């Protein structure tokens, strides 16, 4: 996997975390225990710091970058959906950022909140704990209920398990080489 030191700042990855070999980590990126970082993810800690707490998942194709001298903190058991783009400094425990969502600068996401797929949370917006937001710009559409928590706990457990299973259950295989034609005899 491409891991880059940037001006003396280098990624730190817990041994129990899984980072796909096609993910790109740059600079001050801190990945805690049992975190899943999927294929094609870009984590740019060149200007600032990205700090991902235990048992979180950054799914395939997501991009996280933060402003100069700022920290992007993902709490425990946060899910960043496939293709999401995150510039936010604070995503609290158990929050879910849906597939393709965009979190702009200075956005804060409360604990157990859900940002629906494709939503755009504009600059400076704070999403309170325990709500679902959707749309462009994202607006509150309802509370997070027990059924949402149960579903997302199940999903988070799948990624914690996947981070563990990828450590021992996957190996790269290259496609077979095509057979070579026999040389013509004179």
Residue 81: left if φ>0, alpha if ψ -120 to 50, beta else—which one? beta
In Å, what is the CA distance from 96 to each residue of 38, 148, 186? 16, 10, 69
Hunting for tokens 């975190």 — which residue is that? 35
Written as six digits, the tokens of 51 are 């700090």
Compute the residue count for the chain.
186
Q: Is-above-0.85 flag for pTM? A: yes
Q: What's the rounded Cα separation, in Å, for the pair 93 and 48?
A: 21
Residue closest to 49 by CA, chosen among 64, 33, 35, 34: 64
- State residue 178's pLDDT score: 81
Convert the pLDDT of each residue in 87-142 to its tens digit. 999 999 999 999 999 999 999 999 999 999 999 999 999 999 999 999 999 999 99
- Beta bridge partner(s), residue 71: 49
- State residue 186's pLDDT score: 62
Domains defined along the chain, listed by start:
3-169 (2.160.10.10)
Asked whether the predicted pLDDT for residue 182 surpasses 80, the reply is no
DSSP 25-42: EEEEEEE-TT-EE-TT-E
């Amino acid at each position: 996997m491409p891991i880059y030191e940037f001006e003396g700042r280098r990624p730190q990855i817990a041994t129990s975390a899984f980072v796909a070999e096609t993910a790109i980590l740059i600079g001050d990126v801190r990945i805690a225990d049992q975190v899943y970082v999927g294929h094609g993810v870009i984590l740019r800690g060149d200007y600032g710091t990205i700090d991902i707490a235990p048992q979180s998942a950054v799914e395939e194709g997501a991009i996280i970058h933060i402003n100069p001298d700022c920290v992007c903190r993902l709490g425990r058991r946060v899910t960043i959906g496939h293709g999401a783009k995150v510039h936010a400094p604070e995503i609290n425990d158990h929050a879910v950022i849906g597939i393709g969502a965009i979190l702009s600068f200075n956005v804060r996401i409360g604990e157990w909140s859900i940002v629906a797929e494709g939503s755009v949370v504009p600059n400076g917006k704070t999403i309170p704990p325990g709500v679902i937001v959707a749309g462009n710009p994202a607006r509150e559409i309802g509370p997070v209920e027990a059924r949402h928590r149960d579903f997302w706990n199940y999903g988070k457990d799948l990624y914690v398990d996947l981070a563990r299973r990828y450590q021992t259950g996957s190996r790269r295989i290259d496609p077979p080489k095509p057979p070579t034609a026999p040389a013509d005899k004179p």
